[in-house]
Structures are given as structure tokens and as C-alpha cells.
Structure 1
Amino acid sequence: MRPWNFSAGPSALPLEVLRTAAEEMTDWRGSGMSVMEMSHRGKQFIQIHAEAEADLRELLAVPDDFAVLFMQGGGIGENAILPMNLIGRGGANKADYVLSGSWSNKSYKEGRRYGDAAVAASSGDAVSLDGVRQEAWTWFPDPAQWKVRADASYVHLCSNETIDGVEFVQWPDLAALGAPGVPLTVDASSHILSRPIDFSRAGLVFAGAQKNAGPAGVTLVFVRRDLIGHALPTCPSAFDYANVAGADSMFNTPPTYAIYVAGLVFKWLKKQGGVAAMERANIAKAQALYGYLDSTDFYSNRVHPSVRSRMNVPFFLADETLNAAFLQQAEAAGLLQLKGHKSVGGMRASIYNAMPLEGVNALIAFMQDFERRHG
């Protein structure tokens, strides 16, 4: 029995995927080579890459007018790669950012290095919603209140704040906000493949794989083809979307093993019934955990119910002097990596696709028992 791993990333992978990778570690399908040893231009890896892209396109119903890129640098890297490719589009060198937590703030600060980055909206202040006080970063700004510049090169948001536990999926039509032609760019790192994506509302979506799609090392980028070819002169050639797309993600040596394992995850997802089936499972897991948190005063989740993340569930003990005991006893019970991010404290359970309902129920049972013993 393996322990239940609630890490926010790098996160748990499906056991079936790990077993397949182990079986093929020294000899991939009779090639005599590990995937780690293959040339990225050889026929074996070309096949691995092609299957991974095809399965990913099928899982997310990616339109043909979007390129799918396998890049390096993770989400933090894309915070720079994105403006280097898009902020100069049209010559305005302007970009608008929606701030909803830790990761969108990082994106904004990075964007300011490359042009006129402005805040379109922010949840960085406490507000009253439905008569209840919501602290900063526990709610999401209403798109009707966004201040989007009509000549902005793009508008950026983080659709799931891994640290703060805020998820926003009703992506707006920017034309309705008075900004027709301004593309929406989305950091979907920590909920990619957990629910469908409406690509008609976005021009670019990126996601570090290590949250929900594979191991650390590869970043998935879905970019509308008409947005390719606008890189700043200072953009490194290996990060220019035009070069990466033109070379089928092989302008430089890609993270071959990470792409291979991500491809195994994609095949596993298809066997589970695809993204729609995973969404149903994720709804059930989130409802179970939030339902328990709402039933007790011993623990609390501070995010507004309308934007609670299905993937990352931060929670706090009413008596925080019990934090150390909670974590020690949870680990002894086989419940790992529940400590909240150092910037916010408390606890956090990341319940990505690879975490089954059984694991969430094990966490709830432990929390109930801990409450009985310490409440």
C-alpha cells in the first residue's frame, strides 16, 4: 500500500504510469534503448512525441488553429517567454494582468520587465461578498469590472491559483469587455486536464506538466497560430514560439523523458474515459473534502465557495498550535505533503487527477479522528 501523496507539485503520478515507465526504463519497446538515451531526432522518439501530441489534442479537443508546443522552463519560465513573444504584437508593448493570488502576481512582475504591464483587476484587498468578509486572494475579480485596454497585446490570468486555492473557469469574451482582438492568455498549470478547456475564449494557454500532466521538465503551450511570429528582438531563439512551432518542438533538444512520461499519462487519462470522466471524479473528490470542511469549526477553508479550486484545497486548523502534531500524525498515517505553502501557512491538499476518491476519503477520516482527539 503506497501512501497518499497530496503534494502540490511535483505531484503524484498514476501508479500504472510509473509501472510502465519502470518496465520500459532500460528497453523501450524492443529498441534496446531507454528513452533517456534516444536521439530526439530518431524514429523512436519521433513516434513517442507524435503519439503524445495526438493524445493531448484529443483529450482537450485542441482546435487545428492552435499549435501544441512542448517547451522547457515551467510556469515561471513562461511568465517571461509569453511577454517576449506577445507583448510586442502590434507595437503597443502593453499587456494587462488579472491578479488573483501568488502565481498571477509573479506573472505580472515578470511582464513588467518587457513592456507596459498594467493591472486590469485584482483581488488583493478584502471585500464583502454575500454579506461575508473575504480576505485578499480568497475571491476572484468579476470580469465585468476588469479594466482592459483596447490596445493591449494580451490579457493574462491564472485560472487556478495553486497556493491560494482559487479557481476561475468562466473565461470572459474580451470583445464584450470592449477589447475585441485582444487575446486572453491563461496559466492553467495546476488544473490542466482536470476539466475541459474552451479554447474559443483564449489565444494561449500554458501549463507546467508537473502538477497534473506528468513529471517536472516539460511545459505544455497551446498557442493560436496567428499569435506566433511576434517575438521581441531580444527573445532567445529557443524561446521564440515561431522557432519552436516550426521545428515541431525540436528547435533545441526537448525534455525527452518528461515528454515520454507525460505521454503515458495522456494514455492513462484516455483509459479512464478522458477529461470529461476526470472532471466528474474531481467534482466528487472536491465535494467530499469541502463538504467536510464546511461541516466543522475545527478546520476552515477561506476561499469564497464560488471559486474554490477542485485541485488545491488549502485549509486551516482553528487552533494552529496543533499544526505540527497534525502533520506528524498525518504522515504516520500515510498522508504525505499536507503542509501549506510557506507564504500562507496552514495545510493544503492537492487532489489532482492521480489522487482517487479513496485517498480523499482517507484524508477526511484522519481529519475526523484528529478532531475527535484534539477538539
Structure 2
Amino acid sequence: MKVLTNNDRITVPQTVALLITTILGTGILSLPRNVANAAGSDGWLLVLSGGVFAFVSSLIVGALVKKFPQDTFIEYSQKVLGKILGYPLGIILILYFTILTALTVRVFSEVMNAFMLISTPRGFIIFTMLLLSVYILRHGIEPIARIGEILLPILIVPVVAMYLTAIPRADFSELLPFLNTPVKTLALGTFQTVYSFFGFEVLLMVGPYIRSPGRVLWILLVAIGSITLIYLFVVIIVFASIGVEDTRILLWPSMSIIRTIMAPGGIFERLDALAMALWTIAAFTTINGMYYAGTLAVTHLTKAKEFKFFITIMLPWVYLISIIPENPLDTIRWMQVAGVVGIMIAVIIPAVILMVSIVRNKGGKTA
């Protein structure tokens, strides 16, 4: 692996911003519907349990980053498990990031078709977003993280402000009855929220690019904690504004509620355009994180010296996979399957590697 310079590395705040903007993507749109179907008025509790599960799971990835501060998943999986097992795992990781990138851009196009660009061909929306992402990714990890750092407040502040305007007419009795759901149902329902927190697994590839890998646990706490609070806020407002029963049947309840919100003083008749602009930012940053992690995985697996070539090579594959789902419901089913696979990629496999590395005493010094 080449020696990294400061221009190849990202700071702790940039890493936090990268993780938040990568995680805060497509999951937030359907999350209220998923938790409403799983636990009814107690659905917001699933957001809390999902956040705790995601943070605990991310600690495994964080431990690997600290144990192998100079290596990506591609290198340390082969060091710990050997090339016979490590190489196929690298291929699986590449496929995972490629498919997740494709599904994210597909969900983006579905929402744009449903709420704004009704007559625009889906393929055109997908391709233009991917082209924009390719342009940014070719500049490397530091500009990507810096863009995330810049866009994060631009994304979060207006989103919170928009949902706050719905509070005066919200009916918080929709959150009752409280704890009416069996504990077993709540436990199983937690998995309905888990995939909405995925994105922290990009650290499997960008770990060596963090200037202070020893602070990775703090980075994960801030990133996932912030995401949990945002998700919790959105779910509660959606439940209280349109009701749990209506939330169950809406395809994208987090976006549908925007059409019912009026800005104070009637400054804007509708907030659809602003919501779409913010959604574009959220999808763009998520695509960047996943796409770049997949490109890095290919680069390290092939031991190539330059990653830019693979960014272009992956473009048609991401596009072709993105157009496979036949309709929005099919896309959601694909996302749910990807969430199940994500548990294996982000939790189970890293846990196995970490345990084996401890037993065999493999790894570098903690940074």
C-alpha cells in the first residue's frame, strides 16, 4: 500500500460529516412506514433500539480501524483469514457497495419521479446523478469529505426547520398507547430500522485515510447518535402529523408530509421544491460515500496504483443494476434484502475477522 500524505487523509470532523451524510440517505423516507408497520404507535421506540444496535455493531468496525490503522478491509481480511478466504470476501464487499450505490440512486429517481420530475425518464435522472458523483469522486477522499462537511448543515438545519413547522397542528396522542407492543415484537421490529443506519461500514475502506484513527469510537458515537436523534424527530413528527394508520400505507411518508406543511406567514405556498433540493443533497452524499468505498475496494483488491480508472469502469454496472427493479415496491424489496446482507457485511464478517485477529494476535499498534 502506498504511503498516504496529508492530502489523502481526512480530519475527525470531516469523518463525522462523511458518516452522517452517507447514512442519512434513502432510509429516512420509508423509515416511518417501516416502524409503524412493525410496532404501531410504539414504532418510534424501534428507532432508539435500532440506533443502539447500529452503534454497538459499529464498534466492531471501529475496533478493526484501530487495530489495523494502515490497512483497509481488503488487506487485513487477507492477513487474518488468508488469501483463500480474504479475496472472496473482498469481492463480496465490492458487490455490496456497488449494489447499494445502485439502489440508492434508484430510490432517488423514484422519489423525484413521484414528487417533482413526473415526466422525466427514470434512466436520465439516474445517469445524470451518477455523472455528477463520478466528477466529485475523481478528486479523492479529502474533497469528498470536505463537501460532506459543507453540505451537512445545509441539509440538517432546513430539514429540522421544515418539520418544526408541523408541530402546531400535530396530534401527539397518535403516539399512544405507549408500550402496547410485546417485547418480542419490538426486538424483531428493530431489524426494520437497522438498514436505515447502515453507511458506517464505509469505514471498512476509508479507515486508513483518517488522520486520527484512535478517535474512531468517538467519531461513531457522534455520527450514529446524531442520526438517531434526527430519525427519532422525523418519525415522531410524521406519526403526530398524519397519524400512524396513514403512515402505514404511504410509500414515502417522510416526503408526503412536506406537502401538508405551510411555511410561517405563508412565505412559501408549498415546500416541495425545497424538500426536493434537500433530498438531492442527501442522496448525492450517500451515493458518494458508497460509490467511493466500492471503488477503493476494487483498487486495493487489484493492487492498482490509481483509483480514478475504476470510478469510470463501475459507472455502467451501477447504472445497469439500478434499472433492474421493475417498480417502486420492487425497489423497496431490494433495499430490504440489501439491509439483511448489510448485517452480514457490516457486523458478522467484521466480528469474525476481529475475533480471529485477537486469537492469532494479528494486527498493528492502535493509533
TM-score, with normalisation over the residues of structure 2? 0.26
| Larger strand share, 1 or 2 | 1
| Larger helix share, 1 or 2 | 2
TM-score, with normalisation over the residues of structure 1? 0.26
- Structure with larger RCO (C-alpha < 8 A, sep 6+): 2
